[in-house]
Structure 1
Amino acid sequence: MFESLPSVPETMTAIEISRPGGPEVLVPAQRPVPQPKANEVLIRIHAAGVNGPDVFQRKGQYAPPPGASDIPGLEIAGEVVAAGADVHRFKSGDLVCALVTGGGYAEYAVANHNLTMKLPIGLHMTEAAAMPETLMTVWLNLIQRGKLQAGESVLIHGGASGIGTTATMIAKAMGASQIITTVGTEAHREASLRLGADHAIRYLEEDFVTKVDEFTGGKGVDVILDIIAGDYVARNFKAAAMNGRIVQVSVLKGPAKDLDLFPLMSKRLTLTGSTLRSRTYEDKAAIIFELETQVWPLIDAGAFRPQVYQTFSLENAREAHALIDSGAHFGKIVLTTPALIRA
């Protein structure tokens, strides 16, 4: 069983959700430092990613799975300070990033050793913290479920989000023939184009179905990655190519509306979706293996790098959530702890 190292305190600062609501419900509190199980590592967190599921949890719309920490935060980067008896891949001092089922908004967290990855060379802690949940979500949905192949076209909704920016870079690295994104502002349109999109549609002013038809010569796109839902679901059917695949990642606009299933049948479309948090450790470990073997070399080659828009101190988590709620960001928002300052 784990014995606390002298350098590991008994308590830590963590962010609690005092009640369902807006960013103001996120409050710093003192919690016991978690103790790793036999198959876990204890990580001194330097940085933690802020994600859509954290927002849903803050609002009371996304409860942690059984046994998970009630502290929000699904992706972290830091250093291993202790390891359970069954852990052999990591030792104290290793710099890592990890996917956690909760507990990321804190100074320490435990992570299953199979869901922990050594940092790619040259990657900053804040960049590494922007990867595990977001990159795994994109890989699972765009590559594994959406089956995007080199030479195919893709439409990425929410192109300015962490999911959208990551999907744009992955699609480009995988050899997509045409990358189309939807964004809200001219600044986001220009940023999306610089990142690798061939076309960026300003959805508040332009109909994405019409623009996709124009950009593809009436063919439609092979794969659609959607975080929006609502009325987008029916419109995605119109924008998809014959035998297209549509993957639902989130439902920011709520349930599907005015849904006509005939285009789904006539075009022989596939509509699928998934969540990452509820998948088994084995499922997640399989995704991580593919990331380490296929994406880590892209990072080493400079073909992929997480887009970090802004960082906030852990105690200012509510300001980070106010920013993600505003939709003004392009890329990821990351929290940092005093450990990063001392590193």
Structure 2
Amino acid sequence: MRAIISNSHGPVLQEASKPVYGSDGVLVRVRAGSLNRIDLALMKGMTHGGLGGSGFPLGVEWAGEVVEVGGSVTRWAVGDRVMAAGGGAFAEFAVGSERQMYAVPEGVSFEQAACLPVSMQTMHDALSTNGKLAQGQTVLFQGASSGMGIMGMQAAKYLGAGMVIGSSTTQERRDRLKEFGADMVFDSRLPEWVSEVLEATNGRGVDLLIDFLAGPLVNDGLLATRIGGRMINIGRMAGESGEFNFDLHNMRRIKYIGASFRLRTPEEVAAVIEKASEALGPALKEGALRMPMDSVYPMEEAHKAFEKMAQNKHFGKIVISID
């Protein structure tokens, strides 16, 4: 099969062995895969939660159709259209786990479907399981113009949030955030952003802050979150370390929760996917959740897709079509 492989020259299209699946596995003919930020690290030969490494097909999010099923699989059949967060996405074939795939809704293309699983399960886990979002509560997405943020704002609205607030450092992106559920937007580079959030929440602060940035913005996040509120860390785009005001955290009694998937067991991940599918599956069918596609590249131009991701100038997802 053809696959986009990580080597010292970056992403390269070459022949690779078709993956092997077990009795509980599903072989999928991949039709599209979308890029995620972690793909830039995997491209350099790094590993991520057991995925990646030099010589392995890149990509962690795909959509396609089932072509073979293991002997113990009962949930899926040949011909089913499926999508999943899983390794080897940028190849003609990938292996899915029976409990870790979603059905592609009718009317949704493979390119669109490949943009959904990672953000859908991560955001439901952050908002509902860890964030304990309740009807009418206020949610702030720090770094909302990412694919995660775009999905998160829509999911928050669907799950009953009241005011949804999102940040971005560019005016063009802030303008677009309102298309995807943001009631208020702000520029996190401006020193007055905390005051703006407090004013919008009548001095109280937000109930829940979903943080994709971390770094030097964490302490301001503590100020923008209400007393007894929750902060869920998903990403660390602004820095993996920095000063943390322990006194402020303690005084405001804020729950600061990490939500990485990397050290979760397959059973734990399967439980997350089942919850997300049950809660957000109807929203997908209704069209209440959508992800803008910034661009679509053929496999032969995968290097252009990775270059665009590295430039961080896209809005929505970058997709590779697997023909």
Shared fold (TM-score, shorter chain, > 0.5)? yes
Aligned partner of 1:85 among 47, 63, 71: 71
AA aligned to 1:210 is S
Q: State the SS of the aligned residue for 1:27.
A: strand
Q: Which residue of 2 aligns with 1:7?
A: none
Q: Deviations over 1:84-105 (max 9, x none)?
A: 11112212111111221x2111
Q: TM-score, normalised by structure 1?
A: 0.88
Structure 1 residue 269: Cα displacement: 0.3
Instruction: State how many pairs are aligned.
Output: 322
Query: Residue 211 of structure 2 contacts residue 233 of structure 2 at CA under 8 Å; is this kept in 1?
Result: yes
Q: Which residue of 1 aligns with 2:133?
A: 148
Gaps of 5+ in 1: 1-11, 339-343
Q: Could you say which residue in structure 1 is the equivalent of 2:231?
A: 246
One-letter identity of the residue aligned with 2:64: G
Aligned match of 1:288: 273
Is structure 2 residue 63 aligned with structure 1 residue 74? no
1:65-99 superposed Cα distances (whole Å, 9 cap, x missing partner): 17999332221100011111111221211111122
- Residue type of the partner of 1:172? K
AA aligned opposite 1:13: R
**Structure 1 residue 152: deviation in Å?**
0.7
1:277-299 CA distance string (max 9 Å, x none) = 44222112212222222211112
- Residue among 7, 21, 25 paired with 1:18: 7
Aligned partner (choices 197, 203, 206) of residue 188 of structure 2 = 203
The residue correspondences of 1:242-321 to structure 2 (distance < 5 A) are: 242-321=227-306
Matched, 1:326 2:322: no
Among all aligned residue pairs of Structure 1 and Structure 2, give the percentage whose two residues are the same amino acid: 31
Mapped partners of 1:278, 1:124: distance in 2: 32
Q: Is the 8 A contact 1:53 1:62 kept in 2?
A: no
Aligned partner letter, 1:73: G
Structure 2 counterparts to residues 94-243 of structure 1, below 5 A: 94-100=80-86, 102-205=87-190, 207-243=192-228
1:29 aligned counterpart, secondary structure: strand
SS at the partner of 2:16? Answer: strand
Runs of 4 or more consecutive aligned structure 1 residues displaced over 6 Å after TM superposition: 66-69
Q: Which amino acid aligns with 1:178?
A: M
1:8 aligned residue: none
Determine the structure 2 residue equivalent to 1:9.
none
**Paired AA for residue 123 in structure 1:** V
TM-score by length of 2: 0.94
Q: Indicate how the Cα distance of structure 1 residues 227 and 70 shifts in structure 2: closer, same or farther if over 3 A, else same.
A: farther
Cα displacement (A) at 1:156: 0.3
Who is 1:34 aligned against? 19
Distance 1:60 1:201 in 2: 36
CA distance in 2 between counterparts of 1:61 and 1:240 reads 35
Equivalent-residue separation in structure 2 for 1:66 and 1:324 (angstroms): 19
Tell me the distance in 1 between the aligned counterparts of 2:147 and 2:139.
Answer: 17
Letter paired with 2:18: V
Counterpart secondary structure, 2:221:
helix
Q: 2: distance between equivalents of 1:32 and 1:49?
A: 21
Whole-angstrom CA distance in 2 between matches of 1:66 and 1:124: 26
State the secondary structure of the residue aligned to 1:147. Answer: coil
More displaced 10-residue stretch of structure 1: 252-261 or 27-36:
252-261
Amino acid at match of 1:81: V
Cα distance change on mapping 1:27 and 1:208 into 2, 3 Å:
farther
Residue identity in the other structure for 1:135: M
| Further displaced range: 111-120 or 254-263 | 254-263
The C-alpha deviation readout for 1:116-164, integer Å capped at 9, x for no partner, is: 2221122111111111112111111122111112211111022111001
Amino acid at match of 1:294: A
Aligned equivalent of 1:4: none
